[in-house]
Homo-oligomer: A and B are copies of this chain.
Amino acid sequence: MRRDIFQAVADPTRRAIITLIALQAMTPNAIAEQFNTSRQAVSKHLRILTECELVKGEQKGREIYYRLEVERMKEIDKWLEQFRKIWETRFSQLDELLSTIKKPKT
């Protein structure tokens, strides 16, 4: 039961669900119709996504609308931060290199 946001996002179907409901909340049935999967399978994915709070369900009568907790996605972004620093540094080093070539031996 160790739900991890990275593990949640590892599954392609789950990523597709996330993208699907990113713009508007949807019911499990509606989601399942978009894929070649059963409603129950989607339900299991939604449970996993709910467990790590990537998704939240809101009951409306007998339907449940699931919507993306987009804020939670920032966790991944946060982890990427350290590498973004590196690739930006690489870029500025390249930048520096280029300007060194332009005016060699300042």
Give A contacts to B, CB under 8 Å: 4, 6-7, 9-10, 12, 15, 19, 22-23, 68, 70-71, 73-74, 76-77, 79-80, 82-84, 86-87, 90
Contacts and interface: CB of A to CB of B under 8 A. Distances in A.
Give the number of copies in the complex. 2
Given A71-B87, A73-B87, A87-B71, A82 B22 contact: yes
A83 B73 contact: yes
A82 B15 contact: no
B19 A10 contact: no
A18 to B, nearest CB: 8
A101 B84 CA distance: 36
Contacts of A84: 77
